[in-house]
Structure 1
Amino acid sequence: MGAHAAWLVRASASNLIFTFFIFLSSAVISCGEGDANALLKFKESLVNTAALSNWDPSKTPCNGSRANWNGVLCSNGHIWGLRLENMGLSGFIDLDSLARLPYLRTFSFMNNDFTSPLPDMKKLGKLKSFFMSNNRFSGEIPDDTFAGMRSLKKVYLAHNNFTGKIPSSLASLPKLLQMRLDGNHFEGQIPEFQQKGLRIVNLSNNKLEGPIPQNLQKQNASFFSGNKNLCGPPLAQCEAARKTEAPTDTKPLKIALIILAILLGLVLLVAVIIIVIFIVRRRMNQTELLRQQSSLGNQCNTPTPRTQLPPAATIEHVKSTRKVDSMKLSFVNKERDTFDLQDLLKASAEVLGSGRCGASYKTLIMSGEALVVKRFKQMNKVGREEFHEHMRRIGRLNHPNLLPLVAYYYRRDEKLLICDFVENGSLASHLHGNHNAEKPALDWPTRLKIVKGVARGLLYLHNELPTLALPHGHLKSSNVLLDRSYQPLLMDYTLAQVINTEYTHHLLVAYKSPDFLKHGQLTRKADVWSLGIIILEILTGNFPTFYLTQGNTNDVELMAWVKSIARENSEVFDEEMRNTTNSQAEMRKLLKIGLACCEESVESRWEMKEVVEKIEEVNIVDDDQRTCSSPFDSVLSAIPT
């Protein structure tokens, strides 16, 4: 009997241990679904997921810091971000699935087609930034949507269809730095934002009213434009404040203002005289240098046609009055001979130009290499890691029609990009500069060669940088250099990622496209539009003057230039092209391609791949050598001119 009881005790203990292990195993399985399962669950809530076709359950999303799945950002084997931009996604955003990613800190769903209300963002309490601009989100945002998100720094909800009041929980986010709510239908008064570190608060083009809170009064006035009933600094004074001002005798005040104006006028006059004397003396000392003037084509900058560049100078100007705290340059190509910043500062240099983006200098270092150093003004808000990562990404690009980056220099208030000097100058200088025996006008075969090279380089950028809305973003004739054999080299590409956002629409060409001017949105087809402008400029020899206008140009003026070329058709070709009598058919074919690239409607405009395919079919052949029609002729004939 005792033995039987002992056996029962042992059996019960064995069953208990077995049951415990079964429970522990099921717990491990239920808790170990992992990042991959969370993302696949999230994908089920989306529609039109062709761009996410490589989200393969048999592969892990991350391999160290390298992503195996499209749009996934990895760090040390963990998912810290999602960048699902320009993918045509719709459906709804399943935050419950994303909440199962413990290291997720940022995501971007910009330029898609989401139409649902904004999800309850406080489910992702550790999020640092999110970007949902340029969708069709709608409805009111509940007041507590962002409650408790103490790490949130960047909120981008611009150009959607949100209504109602701005949620007050946004105003209580302690670390908020940037917020874009422009282009919606928000109404009511602006909450009292108290954050001291606020840099950008864009509330333009809504239905807001009342006084602007004191903490936002130092923001740019354009951030509040398009709100009919907003008032107070930096906009006009509120009507109520004007009415409450006590009436006073204004005569003494007017007299005091007149006296002050006279004194200020005298001070300004003296200052002008001193400046004029200084300039005259300086120019007298630089008579020889002033003879060495440059035409339009400078490198890494954009002067206007037939203007003259500043005289030679020393790159010591880069150093300014501040002490350079580090002489270390970062090289993106390990095969290049290295040098340091001190080598550049010691070398004599020539100022190539100074424009809106910054100043450019040509310098000759001790090894005999001719380099161009470009100093940027509007990159001071780019973080160190963000800047380094973007430069390394540029350094990995390799194509015969891209001007490679040699090295760069980062400092919080100083950014330098260094590239090789290309002696033959820019496309703009060859099209619009003075021509002579040493610098003849470009003939038709050379112009076609340049167009093909530009198109190939642009297609390469679009293929290699699939997640960027603007793979180039600043394509124009003065940003196309020509080597000795007239092969084009694109430069100043991908600047939109590192230039301060409040300046991009003033500085970059893509923001002058009809996409942005009419709808405030940018797609990759903005680069196609810029390519079309270059094609028309090359064929006509006419400079698109609307590029010279700072800020947003008039879209009527913009399209008028394109439509005038379409009306004139074959009469528009540059008369400086010689020996092209028998190439008129091919020139007309390229002209129609350029016009197709400049379609005002984004939907009607060709894709980059299609444009390059059509350009490759243009040849240098005589009319009488064409024995049969090309299948592309029927496509071209359908394009309205």
Structure 2
Amino acid sequence: MARNKAAYDHWLFVLCVLVFAMSSCYATDADTLIKFKNSLSDTSALDNWNASTNPCNASQSNWAGVRCRDGSVFGLALMNMSLAGLIDIDTLSELPALRTISFINNSFGGPLPSVKKLGSLLSLYFSENHFSGDIPDDAFGGMGDSLKKVYLAKNAFTGKIPSSLVALPKLSELDLGDNQFSGRIPNFQQQGWKVMNLANNRLEGRIPSSLRNLNATEFTGNKGLCGPPLGKCKSSRKRVILIIAIIVVSVASLLCALWTFILIRGSRARRASLAQSAQEEKAQKKTTAEKTRGVLEVQLPDPEEDNEYKREEKGGELCFVRKDRERFEVQELLRAPAEVLGSGSFGSSYKAGLLSGSMVVKRFRDMNKVGKDDFYDHMTRLGRLSHPNLLPLVAFYYMKEEKLLVHDFVLNGSLASHLHGKRAPGQPGLDWPTRLMIIKGVARGIGYLYKEFPGLVVPHGHLKSSNVLLDHNLNPLLAEYALIPVINKDHAHKLMAAYKSPEFSQTGRTSKKTDVWSLGILIFEMLTGKFPANYLQQGRRANADLASWVNSVVREEWTGEVFDKDMKGTKNGEGEMLKLLRIGMCCCESSVEGRWDWREAVDKINELKERDSEEEDYSSYASDGDVYSSRAVTDDDFSFSVAA
């Protein structure tokens, strides 16, 4: 009995050892992900990656950025997390169910990782990082059975587009835009592209015939590219001239040699031969002319193709700049039920009811001085902007005398309509928390434009309440931004908000702080409920009315008289409202040197709260005859002066 028990204990021990050994040989998804995390830096966004919990519970994810399916890690969605360091492909290859990885908008650098080790990937998103250098030609070798999506945009890749991309039969989405790829475009044979973007690189040569049906916007920004859907290749005519010149010189040389030979011979006995030679010469000329005509017929651009290009100059197809929208044709817009929304500074706006949803079409007649290439380039750049407080451009249509811009329809209309439109009896105006949320969103949108357009003196140019749209949650969306480069100057100077600023009125020039001044006027309009009437005046006049009124009330009366009586929800918020008022005054300083820059204005606005802090004493904010005099006023948060 004792012997049997001893044997049983022995085998039980051996079994436990084997189970432990096997479990240690096969790492779990959690172990693999922790190992992968250790190869990264700045991983605060992954703090809940903890080996004490499972990353996946069936198809439910317990870890940030992890996508699950059937209890296994199916994908990594690590976008916008400020991650850096090394993307450890070898460790990721230990995740057997991994099919999609996204590291968009992080801080990874160096060459492209060896992604072909992940042979089962369906999609790969590496856009908006700092990757650089040439991509090996076989970088995607062996991934053809599965890979459908490759996004490498907005990095610093150089060299030729790897040919291994051409060998991916299922590839339907490829975004290589905004890099430094050079050379010719490979002869892609895939059909049914959902996304194909090669814009803003250094590519050259004729666009392959297999890609000629795509939009021109997919290829803009490559000065060396030509052929449909871009302009015709000009080099072909030079090649024809060179060929003709070679033929003519060759024939002339042959004739000179033959004639010299005949003169030297000079014998009567050769006269018959000379006549025969002359006939041969004539026949040869005829043959050469026929050959030359053949070259011309083959090499010169087809006249019909040239006419097609000219027709496109007058009115081409609707060009989409967003990849996440259902596409439609111009004819669908024309046939769709339409509603006139109004007529603004630039032209009329219409709401078109399409099957895919309502779109807004804006007609611009005062862009006829901008060339087609410049217009396409700028609209494509606008289409790449992405921010929760910008109204995205969906598509555009180019004609010489008129342009159309297509946007999504925004449910709650403009901020101006909420501040100044007629309301039903008893209907409240926008409350303080909502107005604060709106101005914070506007500030974030303005900050984004300043960062994206560092070369533009005035990145928005037309900031006013009618160009702040409110979505279904009353979140603000900036509209009609960054249009100064394409608007006719005389029209812009008459009507755009930037040209109502004090600096333009005084010097005829705008500055990097002009949009800040417009932001300050918008702050006053939101706090006071008063419309800046000088926006309705055309020409070179400073819109100082609203700012002057605010300054005068602050100097002479109790500051509370400034605020809109229809603004509810202000209990315990007066101090923060007063802070916003002072921010507006710092933004509306008539002296450009004394005015805040955009960073300071955005930072101060984002610090505001709905309610006053109990620790702060706002008694000093009251206008007691000294605080708002024309001298400078300083405290821990602000330093500004009020214009006398």
Normalising by structure 1, we get a TM-score of 0.52
**SS of the counterpart of 2:109?**
coil
**CA distance change for structure 1 residues 45 and 608 in 2, over 3 Å: closer, same or farther?**
farther
- The residue aligned with 2:215 is 220
Q: 1:225-624 maps to which residues of 2 (within 5 A)?
A: 225-239=220-234, 241-242=236-237, 243-244=239-240, 246-247=295-296, 296=342, 304=344, 354-355=360-361, 426-429=414-417, 451-455=435-439, 477=465, 489-490=473-474, 512=482, 561-562=514-515, 565=518, 572=543, 575=546, 581-583=552-554, 586=578, 587-592=581-586, 605=599, 611-614=605-608, 622-624=622-624
How big is each residue's C-alpha offset from its partner over 1:206-265, in whole Å with a ceiling of 9 and x where there is no partner? 222222211112222222223232222222333454334833699xx999x99xx9xxx9
- The residue aligned with 1:29 is 24
Provide the rounded CA distance (Å) in 2 between the counterparts of 1:231 and 1:632: 61
**CA distance change for structure 1 residues 16 and 430 in 2, over 3 Å: closer, same or farther?**
closer
**Among 96, 100, 121, which residue is 1:102 paired with?**
96
- The residue aligned with 2:56 is 62
Provide the rounded CA distance (Å) in 1 between the counterparts of 2:498 and 2:58: 48
Answer whether contact 2:121 2:147 (CA < 8 A) is retained.
Answer: yes
**SS of the counterpart of 1:575?**
helix
Higher relative contact order (CA 8 A, sep 6+): 1
Q: Match of 2:344, as an amino acid?
A: T
**CA distance change for structure 1 residues 53 and 254 in 2, over 3 Å: closer, same or farther?**
closer
In structure 2, runs of 5+ residues without a counterpart are 241-293, 315-333, 364-387, 390-407, 446-451, 453-462, 486-494, 501-508, 525-541, 560-577, 590-596, 613-617
Provide the rounded CA distance (Å) in 2 between the counterparts of 1:177 and 1:558: 45
Q: Match of 2:125, as an amino acid?
A: F
Provide the rounded CA distance (Å) in 2 between the counterparts of 1:98 and 1:427: 48
- The residue aligned with 1:522 is none
How big is each residue's C-alpha offset from its partner over 1:396-424, in whole Å with a ceiling of 9 and x where there is no partner? xxxxx9xxxxxxxxxxxxxxx999x86xx
Q: Match of 1:426, as an amino acid?
A: S
- The residue aligned with 1:387 is none
Answer whether contact 1:92 1:116 (CA < 8 A) is retained.
Answer: no
**CA distance change for structure 1 residues 115 and 309 in 2, over 3 Å: closer, same or farther?**
closer
Q: Match of 1:589, as an amino acid?
A: I
Answer whether contact 2:633 2:639 (CA < 8 A) is retained.
Answer: no
Answer whether contact 1:160 1:183 (CA < 8 A) is retained.
Answer: yes
Answer whether contact 2:101 2:125 (CA < 8 A) is retained.
Answer: yes
Q: Match of 1:101, as an amino acid?
A: L
Provide the rounded CA distance (Å) in 2 between the counterparts of 1:574 and 1:447: 25
How big is each residue's C-alpha offset from its partner over 1:370-401, in whole Å with a ceiling of 9 and x where there is no partner? xxxxxxxxxxxxxxxxxxxxxxxx9xxxxxx9
**CA distance change for structure 1 residues 626 and 28 in 2, over 3 Å: closer, same or farther?**
farther
How big is each residue's C-alpha offset from its partner over 1:189-211, in whole Å with a ceiling of 9 and x where there is no partner? 22111111223221222222222
Answer whether contact 2:49 2:63 (CA < 8 A) is retained.
Answer: yes
Q: Match of 2:515, as an amino acid?
A: V
Provide the rounded CA distance (Å) in 1 between the counterparts of 2:416 and 2:53: 49
- The residue aligned with 1:528 is none
Normalising by structure 2, we get a TM-score of 0.51
2:116 is the alignment partner of 1:122 = yes
Provide the rounded CA distance (Å) in 2 between the counterparts of 1:82 and 1:510: 36
**CA distance change for structure 1 residues 129 and 10 in 2, over 3 Å: closer, same or farther?**
same
Cα distance, 1:167 vs. partner? 1.0
How big is each residue's C-alpha offset from its partner over 1:317-351, in whole Å with a ceiling of 9 and x where there is no partner? 7679xxxxxxxxxxxxxxxxxxxx9xxxxxxxxx9
Answer whether contact 2:140 2:164 (CA < 8 A) is retained.
Answer: yes
Provide the rounded CA distance (Å) in 1 between the counterparts of 2:340 and 2:549: 26
Answer whether contact 1:305 1:429 (CA < 8 A) is retained.
Answer: no
**Among 74, 87, 93, which residue is 2:87 paired with?**
93
Cα distance, 1:630 vs. partner? 9.3
Cα distance, 1:171 vs. partner? 0.8
Answer whether contact 1:457 1:490 (CA < 8 A) is retained.
Answer: no
Cα distance, 1:610 vs. partner? 6.0
Provide the rounded CA distance (Å) in 2 between the counterparts of 1:182 and 1:209: 14
**Among 133, 140, 146, which residue is 2:127 paired with?**
133
**CA distance change for structure 1 residues 88 and 319 in 2, over 3 Å: closer, same or farther?**
closer
- The residue aligned with 1:180 is 175
Provide the rounded CA distance (Å) in 2 between the counterparts of 1:249 and 1:43: 60
2:203 is the alignment partner of 1:163 = no
- The residue aligned with 1:326 is none
Answer whether contact 1:176 1:197 (CA < 8 A) is retained.
Answer: no
How big is each residue's C-alpha offset from its partner over 1:449-481, in whole Å with a ceiling of 9 and x where there is no partner? 6531425789999xxxxxxx9xxxxx9855867
**CA distance change for structure 1 residues 636 and 254 in 2, over 3 Å: closer, same or farther?**
same
Q: Match of 1:355, as an amino acid?
A: V
Cα distance, 1:430 vs. partner? 5.4
Answer whether contact 1:582 1:622 (CA < 8 A) is retained.
Answer: no
Answer whether contact 2:84 2:107 (CA < 8 A) is retained.
Answer: yes
- The residue aligned with 2:278 is none
Cα distance, 1:295 vs. partner? 6.8
**CA distance change for structure 1 residues 50 and 567 in 2, over 3 Å: closer, same or farther?**
closer
**SS of the counterpart of 2:130?**
coil
Provide the rounded CA distance (Å) in 1 between the counterparts of 2:548 and 2:190: 60
Answer whether contact 1:106 1:127 (CA < 8 A) is retained.
Answer: yes
How big is each residue's C-alpha offset from its partner over 1:538-588, in whole Å with a ceiling of 9 and x where there is no partner? xxx975799xxxxxxxxx989574166599999755539978733478534
Provide the rounded CA distance (Å) in 2 between the counterparts of 1:476 and 1:101: 52
Q: Match of 2:623, as an amino acid?
A: D
Provide the rounded CA distance (Å) in 2 between the counterparts of 1:510 and 1:69: 40
Answer whether contact 1:174 1:195 (CA < 8 A) is retained.
Answer: yes
Answer whether contact 1:593 1:611 (CA < 8 A) is retained.
Answer: no
Q: Match of 1:163, as an amino acid?
A: T
Please say which of residues 623-632 and 578-587 is displaced more in the overlay: 623-632
Provide the rounded CA distance (Å) in 2 between the counterparts of 1:16 and 1:249: 87
How big is each residue's C-alpha offset from its partner over 1:9-44, in whole Å with a ceiling of 9 and x where there is no partner? 99999978865663343123321x211111111111
Q: Aligned residue pairs: how many?
A: 423
- The residue aligned with 1:286 is none
**SS of the counterpart of 2:150?**
strand
Answer whether contact 1:79 1:103 (CA < 8 A) is retained.
Answer: yes
- The residue aligned with 2:203 is 208
**SS of the counterpart of 2:599?**
coil
**SS of the counterpart of 1:81?**
strand
Cα distance, 1:63 vs. partner? 3.3
Provide the rounded CA distance (Å) in 1 between the counterparts of 2:423 and 2:17: 89
Answer whether contact 1:147 1:169 (CA < 8 A) is retained.
Answer: yes
In structure 1, runs of 5+ residues without a counterpart are 1-6, 266-278, 280-289, 297-302, 321-340, 342-350, 358-393, 395-400, 402-416, 462-468, 470-474, 494-507, 518-540, 547-555, 596-602
Cα distance, 1:622 vs. partner? 5.0
How big is each residue's C-alpha offset from its partner over 1:100-121, in whole Å with a ceiling of 9 and x where there is no partner? 2222222221111111211111
How big is each residue's C-alpha offset from its partner over 1:248-286, in whole Å with a ceiling of 9 and x where there is no partner? 699xx999x99xx9xxx9xxxxxxxxxxxxx9xxxxxxx
